[in-house]
Amino acid sequence: MKGWKFYYKRLWHWLENSFRKYRAYLKPRSYRLYHSMIAQAEFDSSVVSVIDLSTTEMLTDSGRYFHGLVKGLLDCEHGVYVVRKLWVVSELQKKKYSKDLIETGKVNFIDKQMLLKNSKQVDYLWCDMTNDGNVADTFKKRLNLRISARPLERAVWMPYQAHPEVSNLPVHDDASLGKARRLGVFFIGNVVPAYESDFVKSHDVMTRIHVLATLVDRFPDASRYRVFGGSSDQHGESRDKLFLPYYDAKKRVSEGKIPSDQYIGILGEIDFVICTPGTYMPFAHNVIEAMSQGCIPILQYGEYFNPKLCDGINCLSFSDEEFLELAVTRAIEMDDSQRRIMRYEVVKYYNEHLKFNSFIRKIDEVENTVNVFYYG
Pick 180 or 73 by higher pLDDT. 73
Give yes or no: residues 367 and 290 share one domain. no
Task: Calculate mean pLDDT across residues 117-138.
Answer: 81
Give yes or no: residues 287 and 241 share one domain. yes
Query: For residue 134, what is the domain's CATH number?
Result: 3.40.50
Give yes or no: residues 91 and 212 share one domain. no
Q: Which domain holds residue 81?
A: 4-159+357-375
Query: For residue 271, what is the domain's CATH number?
Result: 3.40.50.2000
Give the total number of structural domains in the chain.
Answer: 2
Neighbours of 194 (CB within 10 A): 14
**H helices of 245-311, where?**
263-267, 285-292
Contacts of 355 (CB under 8 A, 6+ apart): 159
Give yes or no: residues 339 and 240 share one domain. yes
Q: Are 371 and 154 in contact (CB under 8 A)?
A: yes
Give yes or no: residues 131 and 243 share one domain. no
Give yes or no: residues 98 and 114 share one domain. yes
DSSP string over 109-171 = EE-HHHHHHTGGG-SEEEES-S-SS--GGGSS-EEEEEEESS--TTSEE------GGG--PPP
Q: Are 262 and 229 in contact (CB under 8 A)?
A: yes
Give yes or no: residues 323 and 275 share one domain. yes
pLDDT bucket at 38, cuts 50 / 70 / 90: low
What does pLDDT average to over the chain? Answer: 85
Pick 263 or 35 by higher pLDDT. 263
Residue 231: per-residue pLDDT: 44
Give yes or no: residues 147 and 275 share one domain. no
Give yes or no: residues 176 and 280 share one domain. yes
Give yes or no: residues 302 and 172 share one domain. yes
Give yes or no: residues 258 and 213 share one domain. yes
Task: Flag whether pLDDT at 129 surpasses 70.
Answer: yes
Give yes or no: residues 294 and 214 share one domain. yes
Task: Calculate mean pLDDT across residues 231-255.
Answer: 80
